[in-house]
């Protein structure tokens, strides 16, 4: 037992605080017990002594002790001192520590990792107005599981105008971004046995990790320069349950699935009862010609097989964490049930803000500006690599990234660039198995003209044959 706890008790009460004094005192004493400053069996000051010490009424101390007696922290027998409950086992000592600030993210000179759009023009007047309107609106009970009606209607209209896809607002589900939407569809489709989920090879590593997290088997399917090789799709018992595909702009190689392959793909999906998840991540950014309508535009909107996965990550910013699913009508109940069980992670204010932003036409205007911007950046990349021997630059009809196949081993290129302060992704990472090509994938969306020029002056010499 420690000596004289009466004197050393480190208790301070805040008379200007909102909590009543007995509650403050009880809370502080509880902390001292929890933190092992007061140990089981330790004697507490008498109520009178502590009241004098703290300059409060004895009733205040009595109330605090009573509370802690009721909670089992303290114990007292008639006529004896109040003690810390001797039955209270000692727990690990864990005194409060000063907060360590989170370590800052390292900032490379040129972050060319793919998938980052130019976001500096996002926060314009239309953006601020949308959020101001949204934050002034009442926030009542839970948000409807598939999203606010206004936002679902806005996405429905967006799809019709931009992607030639006609879907009722009731067929739209608001998501917390592409991966969250993919996860939702997978959970809606899950059954007794693990799902088999086919993905493109090469493909987007980020989305490929989602089914693996849910215990699904991931089956890579080959692509060529036009996208998924539809003629080679496995049928019958070898068919997957779900196929993730990027028909508009194959990621990362850039092909656009021709219309005959699209229709064969839909026919295959119908025959084999495969759910196609169309990752429509950046089709609005195509700048050399109009994009094909989405695959979903060819599908039956009621009984069809295509769930279109939309996101604002590329057209606006990945920091928003927002997207949507456009579903065949027959799939809506299963997705709503999954959402009901797991909750809608996108809050009402964000949903209202984006509904305002879309309804005001601000996304279309922003996309138009960005398309022009990215077209100029692409020309810069093409020019910078034009005289570099021994590299293959994949066609860039849109989007935010370039794929450069190198003869020089990619690990060397990536490391040399990192040493020069330029972060890029290795091309081989987009393959899960064999057949990998060597090269780099880099984004050119998030840089100014000048930054990109500087970065390319570092990239071009490293990827060229002269460094072999």
Closer Cβ to a copy of itself, 182 or 394, answer by number: 182
Closer Cβ to a copy of itself, 34 or 382, answer by number: 34
For residue 316, what are its two tokens? Answer: 């606006």
Q: Which of 364, 354, 365 is nearest to 129 (CA)?
A: 354
Closer Cβ to a copy of itself, 79 or 104, answer by number: 104
What is the closest distance, in whole angstroms, from the C-beta atom of residue 408 to a copy of itself in the complex?
28
Q: Which of 54, 45, 67 is nearest to 14 (CA)?
A: 54
Q: Which of 13, 85, 19, 18 is nearest to 56 (CA)?
A: 13
What is the closest distance, in whole angstroms, from the C-beta atom of residue 52 to a copy of itself in the complex?
23
Q: What is the largest CA-CA distance in the chain?
A: 95
- CB atoms inside a 10 Å sphere around CB 464: 19
Q: How far apart are CA 140 and CA 232, in angstroms?
A: 51
Closer Cβ to a copy of itself, 178 or 240, answer by number: 178
The residues near 120 (Cβ < 8 Å, ≥ 6 apart) are none
Q: How far apart are CA 174 and CA 403, in angstroms?
A: 31
CA atoms within 13 A on the CB side of 49: 12
**Cα torsion at 94, 95, 98, 103 (round to 10°)?**
-10
What is the closest distance, in whole angstroms, from the C-beta atom of residue 253 to a copy of itself in the complex?
18
Q: How far apart are CA 458 and CA 468, in angstroms?
A: 16
Closer Cβ to a copy of itself, 79 or 125, answer by number: 125
Closer Cβ to a copy of itself, 292 or 381, answer by number: 292
For residue 438, what are its two tokens? Answer: 């060597």
H/E element holding 277?
strand 275-279
H/E element holding 313?
none
What is the closest distance, in whole angstroms, from the C-beta atom of residue 379 to a copy of itself in the complex?
18
What is the closest distance, in whole angstroms, from the C-beta atom of residue 176 to a copy of itself in the complex?
3
What is the closest distance, in whole angstroms, from the C-beta atom of residue 282 to a copy of itself in the complex?
15
What is the closest distance, in whole angstroms, from the C-beta atom of residue 363 to a copy of itself in the complex?
12
Closer Cβ to a copy of itself, 81 or 135, answer by number: 135
């Amino acid at each position: 037992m420690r000596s004289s706890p009466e004197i050393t008790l480190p208790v301070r009460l805040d008379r200007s605080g909102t909590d009543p004094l007995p509650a403050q005192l009880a809370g502080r004493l509880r902390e001292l017990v929890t933190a092992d400053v007061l140990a089981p069996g330790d004697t507490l000051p008498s109520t009178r002594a502590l009241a004098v010490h703290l300059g409060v009424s004895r009733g205040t101390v009595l109330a605090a002790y009573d509370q802690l007696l009721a909670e089992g922290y303290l114990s007292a027998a008639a006529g004896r001192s109040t003690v810390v409950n001797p039955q209270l086992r000692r727990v690990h000592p864990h005194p409060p520590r000063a907060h360590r600030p989170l370590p800052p993210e390292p900032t490379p000179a040129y972050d060319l990792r793919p998938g980052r759009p130019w976001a500096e023009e996002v926060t314009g007047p239309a953006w601020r107005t949308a959020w101001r309107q949204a934050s002034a609106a009442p926030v009542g009970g839970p948000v409807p599981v598939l999203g606010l009606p206004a936002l679902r209607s806005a996405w429905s209209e967006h799809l019709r105008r931009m992607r030639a896809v006609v879907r009722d607002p009731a067929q739209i589900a608001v998501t917390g971004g592409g991966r969250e939407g993919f996860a939702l569809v997978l959970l809606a489709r899950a059954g007794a046995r693990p799902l088999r989920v086919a993905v493109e090879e090469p493909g987007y590593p980020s989305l490929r990790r989602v089914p693996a997290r849910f215990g699904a088997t991931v089956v890579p399917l080959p692509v060529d320069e036009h996208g998924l090789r539809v003629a080679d799709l496995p049928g019958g018992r070898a068919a997957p349950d779900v196929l993730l595909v990027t028909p508009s702009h194959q990621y990362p190689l850039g092909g656009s699935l021709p219309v005959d392959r699209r229709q064969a793909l839909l026919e295959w999906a119908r025959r084999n009862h495969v759910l196609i998840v169309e990752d429509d991540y950046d089709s609005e950014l195509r700048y050399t010609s109009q994009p094909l309508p989405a695959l979903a535009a060819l599908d039956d909107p009621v009984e069809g097989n295509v769930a279109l996965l939309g996101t604002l990550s590329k057209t606006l910013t990945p920091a928003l964490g927002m997207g949507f699913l456009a579903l065949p009508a027959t799939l809506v109940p299963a997705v709503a049930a999954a959402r009901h069980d797991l909750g809608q992670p996108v809050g009402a204010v964000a949903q209202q803000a984006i509904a305002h932003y879309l309804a005001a036409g601000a996304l279309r205007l922003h996309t138009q500006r960005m398309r022009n911007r990215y077209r100029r950046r692409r020309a810069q990349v093409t020019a910078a690599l034009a005289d570099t021997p021994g590299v293959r630059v994949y066609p860039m009809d849109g989007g935010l990234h370039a794929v450069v196949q190198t003869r020089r081993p990619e690990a060397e290129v990536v490391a040399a660039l990192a040493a020069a302060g330029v972060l890029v992704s290795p091309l081989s990472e987009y393959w899960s198995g064999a057949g990998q090509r060597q090269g780099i994938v880099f984004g050119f969306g998030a840089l100014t003209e000048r930054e990109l020029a500087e970065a390319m002056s570092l990239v071009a010499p490293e990827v060229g044959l002269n460094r072999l």
